[in-house]
Structure 1
């Protein structure tokens, strides 16, 4: 009887052992499966991260290419504009220099014309000494109540002396800066009225004067005036000169 009981106990323990072992095996397999699923999920997540990173890198590369292309276009435009500007400046400087030379040539030509006109005036007067003598004779006849009909040649030296005096003392020259030449020239008639009718007024350009500078040469010397006073100083100088001449 005791042997029968002992066998049942062994059989029961054996069954319990195998049942427990089976449970442990199932639990281990389940844990292994869960671990694999977790690793698979992690791998998928990392793969997705890699894909996102690749996409980001590609998009950044595209954006950088577009940006660099835009920068190159802007740089190309800037270089073209800069080249145009440099070319324009070079052309402008060349044109400016040519214009300055042409301006100086015209100034020289204008002054030469004035000088030639002045010389021609004196030559014309010299050619008509006989006519002037005739006019002077008529004036002398009225003033002195005496007709110089006996020998008009005696009056010729007086006329020649007067002409010489006119050349040396009857000319007033005004020198101004080129920027003020037009303004003074437009008032030449008004300035001329301040002088005697037989006085000769000439206006010249003098580049080395300051813009508001004015130089007046007259028989008694030289006067310095300025255009910035709107010709008042010139008028005053001429009036003073005329007064001294009359005295």
Structure 2
């Protein structure tokens, strides 16, 4: 079966004038149709180079012109830049060195102050320890002196009577081992103070040897050895605590 060809308008029957019902063949229709002018068709090989050339021309016209080359730096300008960089680096290094020096100086000052405070504390402890040692030695020496000098109580009683407010009668407490000495010197004690008519000695084991406590209606005199030493040592401690 032959292939089907699409029907063209020219193939349709056309009536010729004066001949109703007659047909014109397709070939005659095509021959009788007016010829159209031929349109030239450009090939792809011819069109593409033209487009590329046009695009390149457009890009070249849109791009800015190339910058002019900068003139080379002179030797004097290079030397100025080098000197400027050197000065800036030197100033930065000097500033950093000063900061480090200040920090080191401050740390050294703090350390010196700490050492000074520690030294004062050590000296103070040393003075206190030395003073306590001196006091202990003095107490021992006095104790030995009292034990060897039996008549030391006599000087203690005389001192207590001289410090007491005048009264007609005194009550004096002494260590029992000192009773014999004070009773022996009782008349001398009474004669040493005008208006004194009687002295009563009382043995008291709470007192250490060589000391006494005088009591009268007018007051009391503490003449114990340890009391006198406490006053002396208290004065020494106060002096030792003062800054030198």
Pick the TM interval, shorter chain: 0.3 to 0.5
Q: TM-score, normalised by structure 1?
A: 0.36
Q: Of Structure 1 and Structure 2, which has the larger fraction of its residues in helix?
A: 1
Q: TM-score, normalised by structure 2?
A: 0.36
Larger Rg: 2
Higher RCO (CA-CA < 8 Å; seq separation 6+): 2
